Structure 1
Amino acid sequence: MKRHIQKLVSFILILSIICGLGQTAFAAAFTDVSLSAWYAQAVEYVFENGLMSGTGGGKFSPGVPMTRAMLVTVLYRMDGSPAPAKPHGFSDVPSGAYYERAVAWAAENGIVSGIGGGRFGSESHITRQDLTVMLYRYSNFKGYDISAADSLADFSDSSRVAGYARQAIQWAVGAGIMHGDSGRLMPSGDATRAQVAVMLMQFAQNVVNAEPAPAPERNQLQITVNGQSFHGELYDNETAKAFASMLPMTLSMQELNGNEKYHYFDSSFPANPSRPSGIHTGNLMLYGNNCLVLFYEDFTTSYSYTPIGRLDNPTGLERALGSDGAQITFSSER
């Protein structure tokens, strides 16, 4: 009996040493992260999963603001660091910068659109609302569930959320990614490295590892020009729904700039314009509230549009449309 007790005590001591070594190893990784800190578990998570590393000298720098370049690099790592297919097009992203490929990937997939003037704002501090917008766009790109939403009524500064970020923050709060502090969201405040670590861990737990959302029903789009048909989809927004209600129809569309055909309607559509990260061949968009635009070339633009739909394989679209005005038939079926 005495021998069994001695073995049990020895096992407990060994187990305690192993657990202690685990905590010591993590504590030693960053001298400025206390094991009792509210963000300690999150820092351990992002560190062990290769999403964030230290800032040098054995420090994590939890209170240092995160830059836009840092965050886009984190998202790029989350996606496995795939090779981008196109250059980023931003004037302030130097060739060879550690975040160059990450920015190109994010711009290509609609996760970032820059800060205007052809600039990405690499070294600018990222605000809490811009952080949330990037996570929201990344989720949409990956097909994660973005249906969660909160009214934000419980937050005293909800009126300070920018219009472009409101839907993203409603989603983040509803999904348990963003909780605020003392009843405040502080949307325009800088996001610190500790805050980013916590949001990334909660994002992984509540969104990435959650049950996948059912695939949305797809509205088919067909465009026929000069006897040639192209197929794609209409997006799930109010503009696309209003457009779909008018189909089928044939429009006389005019040529503009060697990259698009356009048609002005007599009536207006519901619109929610934003500047796209890039225009792609086969994009169907609304300019203003009554100008339908079909693009047949890839390029970047400073103009804002409301997306309506896109073609899956637009190969040959430019040739079919020709260099002058064209008669184009639009049809849709669910």
Structure 2
Amino acid sequence: MKRRKKRFVLPLCLLLLLSLCAPAYAAADAPFADIHGHWAECQMAWAQEAGILTGTSSTTLSPDDTATRAMAVTVLYRYAGSPAVEGTSGFADVPADAYYADSAAWAAQAGIAAGKTETAFCPNAPVSKEDFAVMLYRLCTARHGVPEVSPDALVNIEDAGNIHGYARDAVAWAVEDLVLVNKNLPLSRLLPQASLTRGDLAHLLRQYDCLVEGNPAQLYRFDPDEVEKIAVDLYQGEVTFLITEPAEIQRFVEKVNGFSYTGQHTPASAGKQFPYHVVLWFKDLELPKGLFMDSNRIGNFYSTSSPDQPYFTSE
């Protein structure tokens, strides 16, 4: 009976933590099927639903397409509420009837983005990681004043010397406050000149919206009908709790979808630093998705609940 009680207490307690996690999975019949299962699914859905990012077609958001400078200023302009613009951007390569004309004018006039030269904005050029960091940094400065940046923010970035001088403070701020890292590479490498994708744009903007502006961010959009089973491994006791009953899965997933996060810390290695491991198996995905956690966080996201709350019980 002791073990049976654990089986139900632990999953229910985990519901208090799973606000904090990695990419979500929406229903397979979602209007933009190409983001289903993508690492930036929730970020892209948030941007699209907020009117910040539009589809590349009626059924695609193209998260892996390269983002251009025109796209970058457009998402920021829409995020800012599409304020009225007087005059033009002043750039010869920004046609007055271009979809990004007002966005470029706003960005130039507000000091959010400069041209590549005095007369050229280069709207179709890819936007780099450091340049988008600069845009977000300037947006933050316009709203809240110049943010404080630790002099040690880039001390562990081995390619920090590749950051252009004009972008150094902005990138340091983004590393500290937006947890800017380089996907699929060691955390010590940033690749500041690397081109961003549309998924990257949505991700970084939502990091800004959450971690700077303080708006809670949802990271899970699971469809309970797509989840086949959920396993919870307790490393210290090497005990696995398995959820397979549809009603339990639905209750677990619905609670997860209702949580959000408002804080994040610098990524660290998983393993024993996170004594709990949750694995979700999906019916239409070949590989399961695993999450590491401890009593106050999952992965790199802090819980919005009280840190004194006893999430996990031994009874």
What is the TM-score normalised by the length of structure 1? 0.53
- Structure 1: gaps spanning 5 or more residues: 1-21, 211-334
1:50 maps to 51
Structure 2 letter corresponding to 1:189:
A
Cα-to-partner distance string for 1:107-141 (whole Å, 9 max, x where unaligned): 11111120014111111110110010011111111
Q: Residue 188 of structure 1 aligns to which amino acid in structure 2?
A: Q
Match of 1:163 among 140, 165, 187: 165
Larger Rg: 1
Query: Which residue of the partner structure matches residue 217 of structure 1?
Result: none
Structure with a larger share of its residues in strand: 1
Question: Using the alignment, how far apart are the partners of 1:144 and 1:173 within structure 2?
Answer: 18
Identify if the C-alpha distance between structure 1 residues 158 and 55 changes in structure 2 by more than 3 Å, giving closer, same or farther: same
Residue 247 of structure 2 corresponds to: none
Task: Write the mapping of 1:178-217 to structure 2, written as runs, cut at 5 A.
Answer: 178-181=180-183, 182-183=186-187, 184-209=189-214
Paired residue secondary structure (1:208): coil
1:229-267 alpha-carbon deviations (Å, 9 max, x no partner): xxxxxxxxxxxxxxxxxxxxxxxxxxxxxxxxxxxxxxx
Check whether the contact 2:153–2:173 (CA below 8 A) recurs between aligned residues.
no
Specify the alignment match of 2:147 in structure 1: 146
Note closer, same or farther for the CA distance 1:209–1:148 as it changes in structure 2 (3 Å cut): farther
For 1:24, what is the secondary structure of its paired residue? coil
Note closer, same or farther for the CA distance 1:77–1:177 as it changes in structure 2 (3 Å cut).
farther
Tell me the secondary structure at the aligned position of residue 204 of structure 1. Answer: helix
Secondary structure in 1 matching 2:137: helix
CA distance in 1, matches of 2:31, 2:149: 36
Alignment check: 8 A CA contact 2:26 2:36 kept: no
Residue 67 of structure 1 contacts residue 126 of structure 1 at CA under 8 Å; is this kept in 2? Answer: yes
Instruction: Calculate the aligned-residue CA RMSD, in Å.
Output: 2.1
Alpha-carbon offset, residue 105 of structure 1: 0.9
SS of residue matched to 1:29: coil
**For residue 26 of structure 2, what is the aligned residue in structure 1?**
23
Q: CA deviation at 1:31?
A: 1.7
8 Å Cα contact 1:180/1:186 also seen in 2: yes
Q: Is the 8 A contact 1:177 1:199 kept in 2?
A: no
CA contact (8 A) 1:177 1:206 kept: no
What is the CA deviation profile of residues 180-201 of structure 1, one whole-angstrom value per residue up to 9, with x for unaligned ones? Answer: 2322111101001111111111
For residue 174 of structure 1, what is the aligned residue in structure 2? Answer: 176
Deviation at 1:87, TM superposition (A): 2.2
What is the Cα deviation at residue 86 of structure 1? Answer: 3.3
Q: Which amino acid aligns with 1:208?
A: E
Q: Which aligned pairs between 1:114-129 and structure 2 lie closer than 5 A?
A: 114-129=115-130
Q: Could you report, residue by residue, the CA deviation over 1:17-45 in whole angstroms, capped at 9, with x for unpaired residues?
A: xxxxx9327x522221123x321121122
Matches within 5 A, 1:3-18: none
CA distance in 1, matches of 2:112, 2:202: 19
Q: How big is each residue's C-alpha offset from its partner over 1:269-291, in whole Å with a ceiling of 9 and x where there is no partner?
A: xxxxxxxxxxxxxxxxxxxxxxx
SS in 1 for 2:113: coil
CA contact (8 A) 1:113 1:120 kept: yes
Q: Distance in 1 between matches of 2:62 and 2:105?
A: 27
Cα distance 1:43–1:206, how it changes in 2: closer, same or farther (>3 A)?
same
Secondary structure of 1:118 counterpart: coil
Q: CA deviation at 1:148?
A: 4.1
Distance 2:95 2:179 in 1: 32
Matches within 5 A, 1:1-334: 23-24=26-27, 28-35=30-37, 37-143=38-144, 146-149=147-150, 151-181=153-183, 182-183=186-187, 184-209=189-214
**d(CA) in 1 for partners of 2:141, 2:109:** 14
Change (3 A) 1:71 1:23: same
- Assess if the C-alpha contact under 8 Å between 1:145 and 1:207 holds in 2: no
Deviations along 1:302-324, one digit per CA (max 9) or x if unpaired, are xxxxxxxxxxxxxxxxxxxxxxx
Tell me how far apart the structure 2 counterparts of residues 161 and 33 of structure 1 sit (CA, whole Å). Answer: 31
CA distance in structure 1 between the partners assigned to 2:145 and 2:103 by the alignment = 20
Identity %: 36
Aligned residue number for residue 261 of structure 2: none
CA–CA distance in structure 1, aligned partners of residues 104 and 35 of structure 2: 29
- When residues 201 and 141 of structure 1 are mapped into structure 2, their CA distance, relative to the original with a 3 A threshold, is same
CA offsets 1:139-192 (integer angstroms, 9 cap, x no match): 111226622445212222111111111100000111034122322111101001
**1:72 offset after TM fit, Å?**
0.5
Q: Which moved more, 1:137-146 or 1:99-108?
A: 137-146
